[in-house]
Chain A
Amino acid sequence: MKMSLGTIAIGLSSLAGCLAILVFNGYAQQPPSASPAEHVDYNWQIRPILSDNCYRCHGPDAKSRQAGLRLDQQESAYEQAIVPGKPQESEMIRRISSKDAAYRMPPPAASAKPLTDAEVATLTEWVKQGAEYKPHWAFITPIKAPLPQTTLTSRVVNAIDRFIFARLEKEGLKPSSEADKETLINRVTLSLTGLPPTLPEVDAFLADKSPNAYEKVVDRLLASPAYGEHMAAYWANISRYSESDGFLDDHHDRLFWPYRDWVISAFNRNMPFNQFATWQLAGDLLPNATKEQRLATAFLRVGKRTTENGAIDEEYRVEYALDRANVVGEGFLALTTGCARCHDHKYDPIAQKDYYSLSGFFNSADEPGFFAPGFSTIQGGPTLPWTDKVTDEKIAAAEAALRTAESAYSAAREAANGDAIARVGALLKQPSSEVAGAVQKSLDAATVAYYPFETTAPIPDDQLPKSRARRGQKPPADLVSPFRGRDPNGPPPDVDAVRAAREFGQRLPNSMIRENLTFSPSGLPGGEPAVLEEANLRPGGAQGNALFFTDTNRGFLGKSVGFYDRTQPFSFDLWVYAASVYENSQVLNHRDDDNSGGAGYKLNLEKNHLSFFMMHSWPYNMLHVVSKEPVPTKQWTHVSITYDGSSRAAGLHLYVNGKPAEVDVEHDHLTESSLPRSYAAAFNEFVGVEFGRRFREVTMKDGGIDEIRFFNRALTPIEVSYLHQGTRAVETQRAKLTEEMAELMTANDSRVVEAGKSLYVAREAQNQAVSWVPEVMVMADAPKPRQTYVLSRGLYNVRLDSVDPAPLTQVFPFDPKVPKNRIGLAQWLFDPNNPLVSRVFVNRMWQQLLGKGIVETSDDFGMQGSRPTQPELLDWLAVDFIESGWDIKRLNKMIVMSATFRQSSDVTDEIVKRDPNNVLYARGPRMRMSAEQVRDNALAVSGLLVKTIGGPSVYPYQSDGVWVLGVTPYRYPKPEELSPDEQHRRSLYSFVKRNTPPPSMSVFDFSERHGTIARRLTSNTPLQALVLLDDPQYLEAYRALATKVLKEKADKDDQIKLVFRLATRRMPNEAEMAELRKYYEQELARFDGERKKAEELVHVGVAPVDSAVDVVRMAALTNVAAAVMNTPDAYSIH
């Protein structure tokens, strides 16, 4: 706003040398300087001077504070620098007025701006009057002042007008008359809905002579769905809404439109602001949180996320927590909290500690820092499955069937176990070799793979492992976005095709080196050999040779080995040799590469504790258990893992040397397929059970593994013990042997086996039903809260003090009774005494409707922000908003109903002279439309606008090459690939790619979506003219507008009038008619001679050209429409 108003001055001053305007340009930006008789107010006159000039060294930031002096606090100032009432005795006054450069403050060398004489005089007068300090206005809880008296009572509609008119009278100004009805309906419709009124709407209003005709229009607009869309477009600036990742790769396949649609619906339902915000900040924590409440928390997840390979997980996890603190700070409090990331805030009472405490509310988000790209079909962190009714029913049916199968399985086990207990005594009477034989037989039947790592063998060329298709070879045609056109209720991706795709390609996987590859044969007849790179088999294993790890060697088992989903019971065992204590090294890994989502399972040594993961996505959707005891170093340890297919941590058992290991359950939430899905792999491919060197994993240097076996069911304890110590297992464990052998017999009972097969089928059916539905990223905290630290200079790894979650307590205290979680944060924000939240919101609604806020810096209510031009009005509105129950529609209605809003916006000489920036509101608002409105307006007046509400984002026109800047295998669809319906939706449905925002919108100051933007600048650039003149989106709209008019009107004058009226909602005057008539005739004549040119001109866009309309007239009137639509009245609100 500042920019555009500033430009006035240049244009006019160059024109008429009217310097008087310049003098007034800063009106009300600057406080009036104190004449000696006047009371000097700390908030309005003194603080701005001190904040701008002194606080950097004598303010809130403890680190940069000089001489221990704070001028922002009365106590410190009185102690050292100010003697109230006595300027001559005040060190501060002596210093600022000194002629001695060495003594003077601010130090001339350090300050670009010395204090002006007027500023020195004001400060001196303030000290003389007693140097009264007051808290910063924005940190004092607002109260409703009595409504001011005004003599203009006949014009007053509501409280707003009393404040505005009283001030105008004080300034000797008069409000402008009410705008004419055409202007009024145009303004209020654009302001409340973002769209222009239709001509029938205009005509109806003109015809309605009832006294409440205007109010009826307002009520209709507030009730129209377009209102919620317009408000949602506003909220997208606060929520930094975008469906792409930002950062390096800027992948763009995240499902967030259900959240955007929720925002639209919440505004349309007039959800109270406190509820609207609370759901977004803490919906997941509300008692019995509904799907809708959880969906709202996407607000916290819609920020950026990195998929850059070298990204350090913790660094970015911290970044996301801080991003959320910034959104709360800037979005709700209009405070530049981010400034306190590296140091105490220089101006506002936000210590660095406070900032990190605020981020503490978000620091336990159960999400990673490094994300897999969305096209992996894995959404990292907490998600909300986005299902429709049909899918929900399908899932419910699958789950009911699963419960039935589970009961049947339990019953079969019970029966089998009863029989086993009856029979086990007989078996145990046999010699122990017989008992051992039974265990061995049971194990043999279950064994599916065995690798003794004794020998190697050369790999014949035709048996070399092959890479699947790599990025760049043949990107699948549907990679525009997996959510575009994907039917959530359609069949899941074909897993066999997925496997087959993996076979595609000729390269060795993971850039392996041919010469370094060998087989290590399977210990089972016909078993697939393992592949080793730089095989390092040597003696000293658990049995014979073993595989030892250097820095670089690696390998993988046969590809089909261990390929288990969460639904399938399985077990494996191996011997592990830890040469030292490993910070976090992989033992076995059966997962996709992290870039492909990382689904699968893995066994790690974390400080030598056994750490087993089975995951759909890390860290939210997975099972994770860690042994309480570490494995010893420099000796072979037998490790077994058994899993029963239940998707629960309780179904997962770790054994060390044959005995159950005690574990800590870190995560117990696995609800979707844990099968690697590497068809979408971006970098490396899934090759099977891997060990040794692996991208982003640390190898077990100098350690080793030996004797790996896989089993196709959950082994029983006696079997595990037997694997560890052989027949001794049945010789030495007499006490538990009865029970354990019964368990073994139960597991092998044919009834149990059959029921197990049915159970697997039911589990798999449920798995398929739930695993492939799209998911929205939402908020949820990790099972164990994370400690938050103050970070030195904001660096993730330089931790200072630990802090608990807390809001900005120096701004407003935190009730100790409120929970220290996001619900507590919301309660703090919406405490009726919180001085900021209501003020900030009403000010932004004022900004939205009047063009700029009562506080112009609607993004900064801190000390450095601008001061309210009508403070009592702001406070009155803020309190009233709270008293109304945070009723947003009521607030908007009050503003647009006010006589203030309804004034004519024409600029008179007196207004130009007295108040060029219209801070006193002696006239109505006048502003360029927002980026969204400019486009939506053109679509609406041309009749092209498709009014469908919600749904997946669309990809309107964009020139070739604009979007394809990145590594991601997406492309912008060509216009002809899109239906006109997609091209002509409102702009809030246009897909926004963070790193490549739509150029036609950017030039109109569309907000970047990297963080919260509460206020857009308004700039002027010739690129705006190029868009409105030549962008096909607009050319098509002009042609559609002309076509519509030609079909309605036969007379040329009528055609011009209708074009003009549709474009501006007013009638052209005679002078305008004359210009347009001349131009229309000229273009008709020209195109008549050049029909081909006419054809070319009208063939633009995707909406069909109406062949019933004469192309010459269409082309000529298209240009007339273009001319009118390019005049300022057609893209401004006035």
Chain B
Amino acid sequence: MKQIDANRLKTALARRAFLKTGSGLGALALAELMGGTRLLGQAPSSAGGVMLKSNGVLKELHFAPRAKRVIRIHMIGAVSQVDSFDYKPMLEKMHGEQLPASIRGKGRLSTMSAAQSSFPIVKPISPFSQHGQSGAWVSDLFPYTAKIVDDLCFIKTLRTDHVNHDPAAKFLHTGFQLAGRPPEGAWVAYAIGSENQNLPAFVAFTSGTFGGVSHDASNWGSGFLPSQYQGVPFRAGKDPVLYVSNPNGMDMQDRRGMLDVIGKLSEKQHEISDDPEIPAKISQYEMAYRMMTSVPEVADISKEPDRILDMYGPDVRKAGTFARNCLLARRLAERDVRFISVMHVGWDHHTNIMQRHPPDCLMVDQPSAALVADLKQRGLLKDTLVMWGSEFGRTSFAQGPIDSNVGRDHHGNNFTWWLAGGGVKPGFSHGETDDFSYNAVTPSVEIHDAHATMLHILGIDHERLTYRSQGRDFRLTDVAGRLVKEILA
């Protein structure tokens, strides 16, 4: 047994007293979770003025925020914009004719259609009609989304350099085409942390029918940021978060008993070594303990009334579906989870788009619209930003010949997202594309612009949110990014 001098003993005793107070523990745990250390190095900025309760790297926001949280709905695989929200009557008229060479220009094609010498136009696979006060044109395959168009802000001119899923999807999430950089959610968690002490700041959902495209954990990893900023995947089944359930033969009370022993033993170790990591570790265990309750609670939808479940459609009663994930996204938003990434695979309709596009619409249309409506009726939409869309769009010409197997290839020049909620204009459409939905005729919205705007809506200046890795101050928006003021409410 070692001699502990009086001074150290005093410190240890004070620490123990501190650890025993619940609020202290919580605060400490949160500081841990959010990596609050960086607060210390950060001088308060002169602008902005909104002080944050939560412990991210920013002590105060750069601007008054328009939203407190983000729900990113990523339709992985690429929704055809001309079969959803970018209505082009010209395609009807010119069905089967060649896309004019002047329109096609010299843009990059994927190697799947680069070999073609013919580019026949394919009309929308289903009719469009106008909806709402805003008169937005929506494919009849999206009847539920059609009902909420006056809450939506369409951007028709998203653009990306990439013609393949892997780089384009990484670009959408991380602002860079190669793996290794943090995704949006990790940046936001790093910047402004969470206001909920019992749930992670960044949560990720995956669903879908696997076709040519897959989910990739680097879309919710932490990249070069420390791992505490990584998205925590919520899963279907017994463990909504990996290992959040006690083992068989152990209930919460037993767990509490063990944690108390761990805590006491850890403190004793701390008395010996004074290792300053130990209090941090103890607080981490306390946060884990709270997650053991809060996570199953948030994942349990048994108390949701039928009328709410019915809003999301029949799939909501099955765990792991897109509909269930939309409902859970709402439940997490209610609990102030900062960034919720809802990723759904489908849509990669290189062939058989007529057979495959409608069922994909059926799977996502109702739940997506329900999420917006549900947030709205709870008053949450006003401070939640919802972003819905893909890593790129699809060509208005056929990949291969026009026959009963017709499909569309990848198209990065212009594609459509819709946004809803905090800070964006409802019932609004931004950007114009040409008659063939092949090029933007108004300035494009780059992915970096969308990121800059998303951060702005949260009250963050994208140029001032940096992290130094390997000697360079990195940003979500790399060296680009322009605020799309036009869409701000």
Contact = CB atoms under 8 A, between A and B. Distances in A.
Given A701-B117, A1127-B262, A310 B276 contact: no
Given A15-B14, A1093-B249, A1094-B249, A1127 B112 contact: no
A1022 B29 contact: yes
Contacts of A22: 40
Nearest to A336: B470
Nearest to B29: A1022
Interface string B262-277: 1011101100111111
A457 interface: no
A308 interface: yes
Contacts of A1075: 261, 264-265, 268
Interface stretch (A421-429, A759-767, A1117-1125): A1117-1125
Given A511-B351, A1022-B285, A1070-B1, A907 B40 contact: no
B93 interface: no
B277 A1022 contact: no
Contacts of A1103: none
B333 to A, nearest CB: 21
B285 A336 contact: no
A995 interface: yes
Interface stretch (B223-231, B299-307, B362-370): B223-231
Nearest to B7: A909
A1029 B37 contact: no
A487 interface: no
Contacts of A448: none
Contacts of B264: 1075
Contacts of A862: 471
B217 A967 contact: no
**Size class of the contact patch on chain B:** 35 or more
Contact of A1079 (B166, B214, B230, B261): B261
A1021 interface: yes
B317 interface: no
Nearest to B279: A11
Interface stretch (A117-125, A476-484, A749-757, A1002-1010): A1002-1010
A1034 to B, nearest CB: 9
Contacts of B230: 1002-1003, 1021
Contact of B217 (A965, A1024, A1035): A965
A187 interface: no
A1086 B254 contact: yes
A461 interface: no
Interface in B93-110: 110
A249 B212 CA distance: 8
A1002 B227 contact: yes
B291 interface: yes
A100 B166 CA distance: 49
B448 interface: no
B247 A693 contact: no
Among A8, A339, A701, A1011: residue with most chain B CB under 10 A: A8
B298 to A, nearest CB: 15
A1030 B254 CA distance: 13
B212 A1072 contact: no
A399 B239 CA distance: 57
Interface stretch (B63-71, B81-89, B397-405): B397-405
Nearest to A1010: B179
A10 B31 contact: yes
B211 interface: yes
Contacts of A966: 210, 214-216
B240 to A, nearest CB: 12
Interface string B236-258: 11010111111111100011011
Contacts of B273: 905-907, 926, 1129, 1134
Contacts of B292: 1026
A959 B166 contact: no
Contacts of B272: 906, 1069
Interface string B33-77: 101111010000000000000000000000000000000000000
A1126 interface: yes
Nearest to B273: A906
B288 A1128 contact: no
Nearest to B292: A1026
Interface in A971-1028: 994-997, 999-1000, 1002-1005, 1008, 1010-1011, 1017-1027
Given A6-B37, A551-B117, A1128-B269, A1003 B29 contact: no
A246 to B, nearest CB: 7
B206 interface: yes
Contacts of B32: 7, 1020-1022
Nearest to A1122: B258
Given A11-B276, A857-B471, A1020 B166 contact: no
Nearest to A534: B401
Contact of A1030 (B235, B244, B351): B244
B276 A907 contact: yes
Given A965-B215, A1020-B228, A1132-B277, A112 B464 contact: yes
A247 B114 CA distance: 21
Contacts of A1094: 249
Contacts, number: 337
A1010 B178 contact: yes
B216 A965 contact: yes
A311 B236 contact: no
A551 B118 CA distance: 6
Contacts of B261: 1075-1076, 1079, 1123
B410 interface: yes
A1046 B376 CA distance: 60
Among B27, B246, B403: residue with most chain A CB under 10 A: B403
A908 interface: yes
Contacts of A671: none
A1036 B261 CA distance: 20
A642 B278 CA distance: 76
Contacts of A12: 276, 279
Contacts of A743: none
B239 A309 contact: no
B213 interface: yes
A1134 to B, nearest CB: 6
A118 B273 CA distance: 37
A962 B239 CA distance: 11
Contacts of A1128: 266, 269, 275, 277-278, 281
B377 interface: no
B176 to A, nearest CB: 11
B451 to A, nearest CB: 18
Interface in A1096-1133: 1096-1100, 1115, 1119, 1122-1124, 1126-1129, 1132
Contacts of A1099: 248
Among B29, B211, B471: residue with most chain A CB under 10 A: B471
A140 interface: no
A928 interface: yes
B237 A961 contact: yes
Interface string B281-296: 1011101110110000
Interface of A: 3-12, 14-16, 22, 25, 112, 246-250, 306, 308-313, 330, 336, 339, 346-347, 370, 511, 513, 516, 551-552, 693, 695-699, 701, 857, 859-860, 862-865, 905-909, 912, 916, 926, 928, 959-962, 965-968, 994-997, 999-1000, 1002-1005, 1008, 1010-1011, 1017-1027, 1029-1032, 1035, 1069-1072, 1075-1076, 1079, 1082-1083, 1086, 1092-1100, 1115, 1119, 1122-1124, 1126-1129, 1132, 1134
The 8 closest A-B pairs by CB, nearest first: A864-B471, A310-B110, A6-B37, A1097-B249, A966-B214, A1096-B249, A1025-B288, A1096-B248
Given A11-B31, A16-B14, A1025-B285, 14 more contacts: A3-B226, A11-B28, A306-B166, A693-B400, A696-B111, A701-B117, A863-B471, A965-B206, A1020-B281, A1022-B33, A1029-B285, A1069-B272, A1076-B261, A1123-B262
5 contacts: A336-B471, A511-B351, A908-B8, A1072-B268, A1097-B247
